[in-house]
Amino acid sequence: MPILVLKEGTEHKTGKDAQKNNIAAAVAISEVIKSTLGPKGLDKLMVDNLGDVTITNDGATVLDEMQIDHPTAKMMVQLAKAQDEKVGDGTTSTVLIAGTLLKVAQELLEQGIHPTVITKGYNLAMTKALGVLESAAIKIPDADQKKVLKNLATTCMNSKGVLTEKEMLAGVCVDACLAITEQRDGKKVCDIKQIQIIKKEGKSVSETKMVAGIIVDKEVVSMAMPKRLENAKIALIDAALEITKTEFDAEVKVKDPTQMQAFLDEEEKMLKKMVDQIKAAGATVVFCQKGIDDVAQTFLAQAGIMAIRRVKKSDMDKLARATHARVINSLRDLTAGDLGAATLAEERKIGKDMMIFIEGCKNPKSVSILIRAGTEHVLEELERGMHDALCVVADAIESPAYVPGGGAIESELAASLRKYKDTYSGREQVAIELFADVLEIVPATLAENGGIDPVNTIVELRSKHKEGQKGAGINLFTGKVEDMLAANIIQPKVVIEQTLRSATEAASIILRIDDVIASRRSAGGPGGGPGGPGGMPPGGEDMD
């Protein structure tokens, strides 16, 4: 009798079947987003279960929107997410290289080469490529920092569908990143979480701008308060400007109306005292994280103070960094030294909403970008493009080195690896050469997406790099192989470095899998039977 080790209904694939299945799933994922690579890449239209439409060519977004069940395919999605979180760009290239590494490895597996030999060759090639990348990288000089950063942001935005305004948007991204850059332990740190992105539908992309301060998506609490104040003194209060109720049960007997009035008068005095404390500190704008009583609103309006209530904690933190104010928990602690400063505080109508603009902050360490576009889909894609550009600029500020784009650096690394393979005589040599061929999938795909013959392009690139033209790449706007450094088509070194590491590691992990055990998850709650025929329900796969 057969011995049943696994639960009934469990799918078990071993050996070459498991490897073929895994490689096919990974290659399928890379093929999906292949056509989105580069400035001539095409968009994907994604429709979710609710019918919401997303139009994008951002690799991480496309994969995130897809409903994927296969465990290996999910690993490719995680690879894209990791790349996006780490450096913010290069997601499509990473998945494409990883998928192609697996595709060519399939041929070696069929020739009887062991997976560990292939992964060893891949890792040797990656290590050598990282060394060549380090020597080929160009340091960003302090004198030309802003110019180089703008070129990096412009290159990143070439593929984001906003070509008409890319110069202006790149400038906005650079200004925002330079504003929030800080020195920590002798190193420059650019935390883009301190850049607040507000998107509002309406007007054109050209209306997008950076605000040297913070935009708060709230409105002034009272119509009687001023809507515009210059040279504002800003108080940030994490306390309620209202009479708090006692936390225990109490009973008060009132015998006549005068006693009741005395209670009301006393509450009013307490609220007046709160407002007087704010006024005495010299504040003209108050951001309150909690509520503001109606009576307190009246006193604030009489004092000519602008007040905004129920402000989010994240906005309070950004206001503190932008205006250099201190968030205080008790009005008794409020002094003039706790106040922040801004040249202008104003309530404005943006689209259909009223918003508070705090502008002209001196040396702000948190800033805002207001994104405008005519339609929701353009707005969403513009936000994704701006996020990638901000990440690229931040990467270059923290690791100030860049390499040529347009497939130039991949071609240079491939040329170096073909020389390097001759130092090995074993089967690893084959894997190293295949790794070099795989790197050329980036310029080949760029050419293919741009309507250029990929074979002729790769031949020309190989010829020019053999002659020592390290910056030779594809300029898709002219359709020719040119010097990318002269054309200012560049990208941060750290993005390529992360791409090489992530793609090689992902391919190595998947190649070493020779056993896939997928169990069916119970349908429904306790007592439910296994999933019905025709496959597993979403999320019902585990991998060992």
Kindly report, residue by residue over 50-84, the tens digit of the pLDDT.
888 888 888 888 888 888 888 888 889 999 989 98
Q: DSSP letter string over 210-230?
A: EESSEEES---S-TTS-SEEE
Residue 250: which region, alpha, beta or left (left: phi > 0; alpha: psi -120 to 50)? Answer: beta
* Residue 531 within a domain: no
User: 428 and 337, same structural domain?
Assistant: no
Give tens-digit pLDDT for 103-152.
Answer: 999 988 888 888 899 999 999 999 999 999 999 999 999 889 999 999 99
pLDDT of residue 526: 43
Tell me the CB-side half-sphere exposure of residue 294, using CA atoms within 13 A: 0
Q: Which two tokens stand for residue 144?
A: 């030309």
Hey, which residues are catalytic here?
58, 91-92, 388
* pTM, rounded to two decimals: 0.84
Q: Which of 415, 413, 396 is nearest to 495 (CA)?
A: 396
DSSP code at position 421:
G
User: 419 and 458, same structural domain?
Assistant: yes
Which CATH number characterizes residue 248's domain?
3.50.7.10
* Residue 116 within a domain: yes
Boundary of a domain, candidates 304, 336, 363: 363
What is the domain count for the chain?
Answer: 3
* Residue 501 within a domain: yes
User: 191 and 109, same structural domain?
Assistant: no
User: 177 and 112, same structural domain?
Assistant: no
User: 128 and 55, same structural domain?
Assistant: yes
pLDDT of residue 249: 62
Q: Which of 65, 124, 70, 75 is nearest to 95 (CA)?
A: 75
Q: DSSP letter string over 174-212?
A: HHHHHHH-EEETTEEE--GGGEEEEEEEBS-GGG-EEES
Q: Distance between CA 197 and CA 210 in Å, rounded?
A: 9
Q: Give the containing element (helix H, strand E) for 385.
A: helix 376-398
* Residue 527 within a domain: no
User: 272 and 299, same structural domain?
Assistant: yes
Q: Distance between CA 371 and CA 462 in Å, rounded?
A: 42
User: 355 and 306, same structural domain?
Assistant: yes
Largest interatomic CA distance in the chain: 105
User: 500 and 450, same structural domain?
Assistant: yes
* Residue 173 within a domain: yes
User: Which residues lie across from 349 on neighbouring strands?
Assistant: 354
pLDDT of residue 393: 95
pLDDT of residue 193: 92
pLDDT of residue 528: 42
* Residue 267 within a domain: yes
User: 302 and 422, same structural domain?
Assistant: no
pLDDT of residue 538: 44
pLDDT of residue 234: 95
pLDDT of residue 92: 92
Residue 302 to residues 221, 225, 316, 346, Cα–Cα distance (Å) = 13, 8, 25, 18
User: 442 and 501, same structural domain?
Assistant: yes
Cβ–Cβ under 8 Å, residues 136 and 496: no
Regions of the chain where pLDDT drops below 70: 1-15, 161-163, 244-252, 259-264, 517-544
User: 155 and 127, same structural domain?
Assistant: no
* Residue 534 within a domain: no
Domain hosting 472: range is: 11-139+403-512
User: 407 and 371, same structural domain?
Assistant: no
* Residue 325 within a domain: yes
